[in-house]
Chains A and B, each alone.
Chain A
Amino acid sequence: DTEVTQTPKHLVMGMTNKKSLKCEQHMGHRAMYWYKQKAKKPPELMFVYSYEKLSINESVPSRFSPECPNSSLLNLHLHALQPEDSALYLCASTLRTTGTGYPDTQYFGPGTRLTVL
């Protein structure tokens, strides 16, 4: 089973709200990723967690705060977002990171469509 689940599917929030996106996988993968994607554009990497530790932060504004409570779960906490943050947020996971010298295929979730008013 190569399934990554994301909740909620859709989220509308105001600029003063605090909300969270959730991503879950039960494939035993040890690397998890957050991407931001605008319409008809490629995904942009935001964060990478490897063995529950943040390994890559692509200079993302602090209003986005990732959290990896365990190897199956990845959260993205949102606070004081701007309208330009409206996008599709994708989560992905791989069995292991390339630190082992053997990169694995990234499997993506269906995404959360976020609208910031």
Chain B
Amino acid sequence: AQTVTQSQPEMSVQEAETVTLSCTYDTSESNYYLFWYKQPPSRQMILVIRQEAYKQQNATENRFSVNFQKAAKSFSLKISDSQLGDTAMYFCAFMENRNQGGKLIFGQGTELSVKP
């Protein structure tokens, strides 16, 4: 069965600094999709970034980028120039390509606090 592990339950970073959230996963599939979702205190789950496993190039979205290491099954999220609005719970999620119904497997989450 696929699993997703986020080993950092809580992290904090100073405003304007860079922080990296780690995520590892386990699968026997070769084609799959990985996501980072952000859930601020308002509790709305928001997509941050998405990576297709067949793409070697790491995805980027403005201040957010990933380091995707397929062989190591690692998918870390880097947040540059951290802002107070980045304070949230971050979930790493996995979806295999052949999964019927698009079932997402979530990690346990990392609670990020950005301090002024």
A66 at the A/B interface (Cβ < 8 Å)? no
A64 at the A/B interface (Cβ < 8 Å)? no
Residues from chain B with a CB closer than 8 A to the CB of A110 are 42-44
B103 at the A/B interface (Cβ < 8 Å)? yes
The smallest beta-carbon distance between A20 and chain B, in angstroms, is: 20
Residues from chain B with a CB closer than 8 A to the CB of A88 are 43
Residues from chain B with a CB closer than 8 A to the CB of A102 are 97
- Contact across chains for B97 and A98 when beta carbons are under 8 A apart: yes
How far, in whole Å, are A113 and B91 apart by their CA atoms in the complex?
20
B residues apposed to A, CB below 8 Å: 33, 35, 37, 42-47, 50, 89, 91, 95-104, 106-109, 111
With contacts A45-B104, A48-B102, A101-B97 taken as known, whether A40 is within 8 angstroms of B43 at the C-beta atoms is no
A27 at the A/B interface (Cβ < 8 Å)? no
Residues from chain A with a CB closer than 8 A to the CB of B50 are 105
How far, in whole Å, are A106 and B109 apart by their CA atoms in the complex?
17
Residues from chain A with a CB closer than 8 A to the CB of B45 are 43, 90, 92, 108, 111
Residues from chain B with a CB closer than 8 A to the CB of A97 are 100-102
Residues from chain B with a CB closer than 8 A to the CB of A55 are 100-101
The smallest beta-carbon distance between A43 and chain B, in angstroms, is: 6
Residues from chain A with a CB closer than 8 A to the CB of B97 are 98, 101-103
With contacts A40-B109, A41-B108 taken as known, whether A48 is within 8 angstroms of B42 at the C-beta atoms is no
- Contact across chains for A103 and B99 when beta carbons are under 8 A apart: yes
> B95 touches which one: A42, A50, A98, A113 (CB < 8 A)?
A98
How far, in whole Å, are A103 and B91 apart by their CA atoms in the complex?
18
With contacts A40-B89, A41-B108, A98-B95 taken as known, whether A48 is within 8 angstroms of B101 at the C-beta atoms is yes
Residues from chain B with a CB closer than 8 A to the CB of A71 are none
